[in-house]
């Protein structure tokens, strides 16, 4: 397993509310279209995907999937990454990221990994099949 630190820029985060005017005590929910650019020594790629978000007066959460297409460690292809986080008043922040099993294509077929998505940085422990 190889630990990678993969910087990115968020190019698009277009949120559309899934409700008509939630009340003050109701958590607001949205569907988001997203796009990113990964630029670094280990990953040069673009990503597009979708997220679901919830934001209330005392907490927030999201879950997302994005298809990352480009070159990782010299191998070209794509894979889907699922990630999310939840946070709130009086609770510890939880976050996760994982390569969706079986989603690798091209030279990235068979990729596996888990990690964390943070502000403009994906930390990923990744395994690539021999090839």
**pLDDT 10s digits, 2-61:** 999 999 999 999 999 887 655 667 788 999 999 999 999 999 999 999 999 999 889 999
Torsion of CA 49, 54, 55, 61, to 10 degrees: -70
Please give the residue that has the higher pLDDT: either 21 or 107. Answer: 107
Q: How many CB atoms lie within 10 A of CB 122?
A: 24
Q: Does residue 131 surpass a pLDDT of 70?
A: no
Kindly state the helix (H) or strand (E) to which residue 125 belongs, with its residue range: strand 121-127
Q: How many CB atoms lie within 10 A of CB 80?
A: 19
**Cα dihedral across residues 124, 86, 33, 15: positive or negative:** negative
Residue-by-residue DSSP string for 1-49: -EEEEEEEEEEEEEEEESSSS--TTSPEEEEEEEEEEEESSSEEEEEEE
- Residue pair 7/39 in contact (Cβ under 8 Å)? The answer is yes
Domains in the chain: boundaries: 2-15+27-127
Mean pLDDT of the chain: 93
CATH of domain 2-15+27-127: 2.40.350.10
Q: How far apart are CA 57 and CA 62, in angstroms?
A: 15
Output phi, psi for 49, to 5 deg. Answer: -175, -165
């Amino acid at each position: 397993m190889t630990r990678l630190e993969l910087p990115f820029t968020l190019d698009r985060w277009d949120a559309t509310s899934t409700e008509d005017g939630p009340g003050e005590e109701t958590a607001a929910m949205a569907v988001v279209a997203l796009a990113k650019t990964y630029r670094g020594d280990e990953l040069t790629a673009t990503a597009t995907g979708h997220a679901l978000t919830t934001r209330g007066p005392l907490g927030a959460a999201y879950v997302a999937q994005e298809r990352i297409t480009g070159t990782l460690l010299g191998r070209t292809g794509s894979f889907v990454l699922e990630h999310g986080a939840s946070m709130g008043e009086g609770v510890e922040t939880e976050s996760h990221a994982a390569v969706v099993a079986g989603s690798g294509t091209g030279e990235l077929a068979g990729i596996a990994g888990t990690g964390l998505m943070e502000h403009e940085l994906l930390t990923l422990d990744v395994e690539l099949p021999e090839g």
